[in-house]
Amino acid sequence: MKEPSASVKEPSALLKQLQHDEQLPVHWFEDALVWIVKLSTMLAELHEQRRHPLCIGINGAQGSGKTTLSLALDMLLTKTYGLRCQTLSIDDFYLSRQDREKLARQVHPLLQTRGVPGTHNCELAINTIQQLKQGKTCLIPRFNKATDNPLPTSAWSSSTSQPDIILFEGWCVGIPPQYESKLNTPVNSLEQHEDPQKLWRQYVQQQLSGSYQTLFKELDLLVFLQAPGFECVHQWRLEQENKLAERNQHKNNNAIMNEAEIQRFIAHYQRLTEHALQCLPSLANVIIPLDEKHRLTGCHVNRELVKDMLERGKKEGLTS
């Protein structure tokens, strides 16, 4: 494994600063110092074997810590290993509220709520990742959850050079479609009462089977933040929303949700979150388990899947 250079910042100092900036608990720093450092070292090692940008998908349930993990990896890879990183979130590719309202009228009312496959601009996400890989100047979209709309393009950031590593995080990143038979049984009251004819479920499945799989083919590796179960998601999402409210306390908070609204909101995610918990442990290259207290408890590498990725790179002339 590649060792950090003595001429750059040490991981402990970087993670301590991130803990302070993001107001994270002390145990996060303790866990990150072991497991996230291990992951960053592995990614730096893999980068040495590649001759083009490495695109890393990060999957996890709502509130599991995908954004925090992305921030930590970006910081470690940039400031410890001197790599160029670009972090993307699938949330920043959400369709506008107006476009989702159109889907709600034409397909199903539940599509007005952002989140499930079918409510993102996959074409924009694919083009953005491909432009980054090619080193082309491109804009990086940004979505404002407090207003439920994308920020104007004038507020988007830009990338002007080819990154070494692209981090792409999102709750449904890397998830394969379900078996059609799984759609028949509702997983909660939302599906039972508001989608009795399976129209919403079928549309989401169709989208996940199509453009989303094309998007996920851009990934070289998949990291899975493995929650203990869906029952933890409500509390984690509530904590996430409270933090969002604190950060936007001087702004328009009309779109920030209360506890009852969060309960309904996460019901939209339950089916595919539970599907991910079932299938991704055997599909992801790296698994980081979480316990009920939200602690990182390991970093398990599926070395056969990593080896397969490198072998594919050799065949395509991307790996030295």
Distance between CA 45 and CA 163 in Å, rounded? 16
Residues above pLDDT 90, as percent of the chain: 77
Q: Is residue 317 part of a domain?
A: no
Do 227 and 233 contact (CB within 8 A), yes or no? Answer: yes
Asked if pLDDT for residue 122 goes beyond 50, the answer is: yes
For residue 320, tell me if it sits in a domain: no
Confidence of residue 4 (pLDDT cuts 50, 70, 90): low
Q: For residue range 174-209, what is the model confidence (pLDDT) as tens digits?
A: 999 999 999 999 999 999 999 999 999 999 999 999
Instruction: Please give the pLDDT value at position 233.
Output: 84
Please report the DSSP string for 183-199 in residue order: GGS-SSHHHHHH-TTSH
User: Is there a domain that residue 5 lies in?
Assistant: no
* Residue 136 in domain: yes
Distance of CA 317 to the CA centre of its chain: 28
Question: Within the chain, where are the H helices?
Answer: 11-21, 26-48, 66-79, 97-106, 122-133, 189-194, 199-209, 211-216, 233-247, 259-267, 270-283, 303-315
Query: CA-to-CA distance for 158 and 34, rounded, in angstroms?
Result: 33
Tell whether the model's pLDDT for residue 298 goes beyond 90: yes
**Looking at the domain assignment, is residue 4 inside a domain?**
no
CATH code at position 137? 3.40.50.300
Sheet architecture: strand order including 85-89: 85-89, 165-169, 54-60, 221-226, 286-289, 300-301
Number of domains into which the chain is organized = 1
Asked if residue 283 is part of any domain, the answer here is yes
Does any domain span residue 110?
yes
The predicted pLDDT at position 259 comes to: 77
Question: Which tens digits make up the pLDDT trace of 67-89?
Answer: 999 999 999 999 999 999 999 99
Say what the pTM is. 0.90
The pLDDT, as a whole number, for residue 48 is 86
Q: Could you report how far apart the first and last alpha carbons of the chain are, in Å?
A: 16
At residue 235, the pLDDT reads: 81
Range of the domain at 180: 26-312
Nearest to 144 by CA among 72, 96, 88: 96
Residue 50, pLDDT > 90, answer no
Q: Are 58 and 69 in contact (CB under 8 A)?
A: yes
The C-alpha R_g of the chain, in whole angstroms, comes to: 19
pLDDT above 50 (res 1) = no
Compute CA 40 distance to the chain's CA centroid, rounded to the nearest angstrom.
Answer: 17
244 has pLDDT over 70 = no
Residue 20 lies inside a defined structural domain of this protein? no
pLDDT (0 to 100) of residue 262: 84
- Check residues 237 and 296 and name the one with the higher pLDDT: 296
Give the closest residue to 309 by CA, choosing from 221, 215, 218: 221
